[in-house]
Chains A and B, each alone.
Chain A
Amino acid sequence: MALDQSFVGRSYPPTEPYEVGREKIREFAVAVGDANPVYTDPEAAKALGHPDVIAPPTFVFAITFAAAGQVVADPQLGLDYSRVVHGDQKFAYTRPVRAGDRLTVTSTIEAVKTMAGNDILDVRGEVHDEAGEHVVTAWTKLVARGAEEGQG
């Protein structure tokens, strides 16, 4: 099913703040097997000039993807989520996410395309801290196609 082209450029309201906790960062670092102390030890983080422990680079995806959920689930867009796989992912950082951050995400639909029977959706998530300063931008490409390809 072709997606509604009029959605290109549409932005969704900022999400409610997500508060980044030290223990959630630790849980993520342990899950990916990364023992870098900058993720778990506030003193190690301070030694590198960070005010608190920082999060691994891809940690923020859980926050931006949850925000993209309101786009993906928008019934007017017509994306078949049961066929969606993750195509591309990119991040551009102004600074690392760190413990104590209260982050909001503003999602914008950058592109909707139908190519070779696949529906393709590009969503940009701009992540800001409580002071309104930019932290990171995440670009997520979702492809709705046969389930034998891609890896979610």
Chain B
Amino acid sequence: MTAKIAYDDVEVGTELPAQSFPVTRATLVQYAGASGDFNPIHWNEKFAKEVGLPDVIAHGMFTMAEAIRVVTDWTGDPAAVVEYGVRFTKPVIVPNDDKGATIEVSGKVAAKLDDNKVRVDLTVMSAGLKVLGMSRAVVRLA
């Protein structure tokens, strides 16, 4: 494990570079294939509406995968992530157009722990709503 960020160089409140991630229907079909999650709420608008959703929604695990990229791009080596957890609070709604939806992710160091570890709290939004809650990673820095 070779994190490019040093523990001594960060403080509580240090912000990680924010990123935004586009997600279209095509993204969801591709993620369904790669992950093996073929639940039709992620690709079939008729089915999604029949079960009470406003439209097709992104896989929660897709959103979780995007959010941690703010951390892994920061550390360089994804092996720096020692814990990662989220709560799925709101769906990311993905309309059937060329724009789709956007997942906006920001993060900051919330606590410095022992053994060169820090806790990073992530804020994950789509269409102005917080889509993940309690989104936290423990990361071991250099």
Q: Quick check: is B100 within 8 A (CB to CB) of the other chain? A: no
Question: Residues of A contacting B34 with CB < 8 Å?
Answer: 27-28, 30-32
* Residues in B15-35 with C-beta less than 8 Å from chain A: 21, 27, 30-31, 33-35
Residues of chain A within 8 A of B84, CB atoms compared: 57-58, 90-91, 93
Contact call B73/A146, Cβ cutoff below 8 A: no
If the complex has contacts A56-B78, A152-B41, are A88 and B36 also in contact, measured as CB distance less than 8 A?
no
A-B pairs under 8 A by CB, number = 124
**Distance of A56 Cα from B62 Cα, bound (Å):** 12
Query: Any chain A CB within 8 A of the CB of B85?
Result: yes
- Total interface residues on B, CB under 8 Å, equals 47
> Is B111 part of the contact surface with A, judged by Cβ < 8 Å?
no
* Chain A positions within 8 Å of B120 at CB level: none
Chain A count of residues within 8 A CB distance of the other chain: 39
Tell me which of B33, B69, B88, B90 has the highest count of chain A C-beta atoms within 10 A of its own C-beta. Answer: B88
Q: From B90, which residue of chain A is reached at the shortest CB distance? A: A151
Q: Do the beta carbons of A89 and B85 come within 8 Å of each other?
A: yes
A39 to B68: give the CA distance in the assembly, Å.
Answer: 14
Cross-chain contact A32 with B41 (CB below 8 angstroms)? no
A89 to B63, CA, bound (A): 12
Task: Please tell me if the beta carbons of B85 and A90 are within 8 angstroms of each other in the complex.
Answer: yes
Nearest chain A CB to B31's CB is how many angstroms away?
Answer: 5
> Digit string of A8-38 for contact with B (CB within 8 Å is 1, else 0)?
0000000000000000000110111110101
B78–A89 CB distance below 8 A: no
Instruction: Name the B residues within 8 Å of A89 (CB-CB).
Output: 60-61, 64, 85-86, 88
CB distance from B1 to the nearest CB of A (A): 6
Q: Is B113 an interface residue (CB 8 A)?
A: no
From B78, B82, B88, give the contact of A85 (CB < 8 A): B88
- Shortest distance in angstroms between B124's beta carbon and chain A's nearest beta carbon? 12
Q: How far is the CA of A95 from the CA of B78 in the complex (A)?
A: 10
Contact flags B75-88 to A (C-beta < 8 A → 1, else 0): 01111011111111
Report the Cα distance A30→B52, complex, angstroms: 31
9 A/B residue pairs, CB under 8 Å, sorted by A: A32-B62, A34-B65, A36-B73, A58-B64, A88-B86, A148-B53, A150-B88, A150-B91, A151-B63
Pairs of residues from A and B, 6 with the lowest C-beta to C-beta distance, nearest first: A90-B85, A31-B34, A148-B52, A147-B51, A151-B91, A32-B65
14 more A-B residue pairs beyond the given contacts A148-B53, A150-B88, with a C-beta to C-beta distance below 8 A: A32-B66, A34-B65, A36-B73, A38-B77, A56-B68, A57-B84, A61-B61, A65-B37, A86-B60, A89-B85, A89-B88, A92-B83, A139-B85, A150-B91
